[in-house]
Chain A
Amino acid sequence: EIVLTQSPGTLSLSPGERATLSCRASQSVSSSYLAWYQQKPGQAPRLLIYGASSRAAGIPDRFSGSGSGTDFTLTISRLEPEDFAVYYCQQYSSSPLTFGGGTKVEIK
């Protein structure tokens, strides 16, 4: 099973700042089969990034993903008020599919 470790657990930032979220895998994620999701309280997760760096339909270009192998990053270039939420990475290269523990981006 591929274990995903996200850091930091909580990121306290102000609107307009840059957010950098990390996701580290316990073994290589083949073909960069890594996705990022955003979840707000009381809502289902929403797909942001797939294939490590491809933005899903309708996702603003302030969201970007990078990385390969075992180290992946989600960057939000300038935080908007609606971006404060919890973010999860997920690997879908092998079963069982696994998620990281999440990073909460909160307003400073």
Chain B
Amino acid sequence: QVQLVQSGAEVEKPGSSVKVSCKASGGTFSSYTINWVRQAPGQGLEWMGRIIPIFGTANYAQKFQGRVTITADESTSTAYMELSSLRSEDTAVYYCARAFCGGDCSVYWYFDLWGRGTLVTVSS
């Protein structure tokens, strides 16, 4: 059974960067996109962007453009999300989530599998 296994909690200082990983355990990224969604404490869900691993192409929400970089290593079935210029408002749980990508990966799809989340705390 495929699981998305995320890296552990991080504590970062304002202005620094954080890189969170997401590994597909028991499976591969074939036919899927990997999305990143964050949730600030007590708040709702916010989509940050996605990557199509077989193409290596990423799409980002305008809000995070220029500050977020999503990459993937197909050989290890691992995706990464790096967020730079961190501020206190970036304190959140960051989730990776899988979406099926059939014949047309330009289409967005629902998220059928989620990682357990990585808490990133930004504090001086």
Interface residues of A (CB under 8 A from B): 33, 35, 37, 43-47, 50-51, 56, 88, 90, 92-102
Contacts and interface: CB of A to CB of B under 8 A. Distances in A.
A106 to B, nearest CB: 15
Given A44-B95, A101-B44, A56 B114 contact: no
B124 interface: no
Given A44-B116, A96-B47, A99-B46, A35 B61 contact: no
Given A45-B45, A100-B44, A92 B109 contact: yes
Contacts of A93: 108
Contacts of A45: 45, 95, 97, 111, 114
Contacts of B95: 44-45
Contacts of A37: 45, 111
A44 B6 CA distance: 12
Contacts of A44: 95, 97, 114-117
A99 B108 contact: no
Given A45-B45, A92-B110, 9 more contacts: A44-B97, A44-B116, A45-B95, A45-B111, A47-B111, A50-B110, A90-B111, A92-B99, A102-B44
A35 B37 CA distance: 15
Contacts, number: 57
A96 B110 contact: no
B61 A95 contact: yes
Nearest to A98: B47
B47 A56 contact: no
Contacts of B44: 88, 99-102
Nearest to A101: B44
A35 B110 contact: yes
A45 B117 CA distance: 10
29 contacts: A33-B110, A37-B45, A43-B116, A44-B97, A44-B117, A45-B95, A46-B114, A47-B110, A47-B111, A50-B110, A56-B112, A88-B45, A90-B45, A90-B111, A92-B99, A92-B109, A92-B110, A93-B108, A94-B108, A95-B108, A96-B61, A96-B63, A97-B61, A97-B108, A98-B47, A99-B45, A99-B46, A101-B44, A102-B44
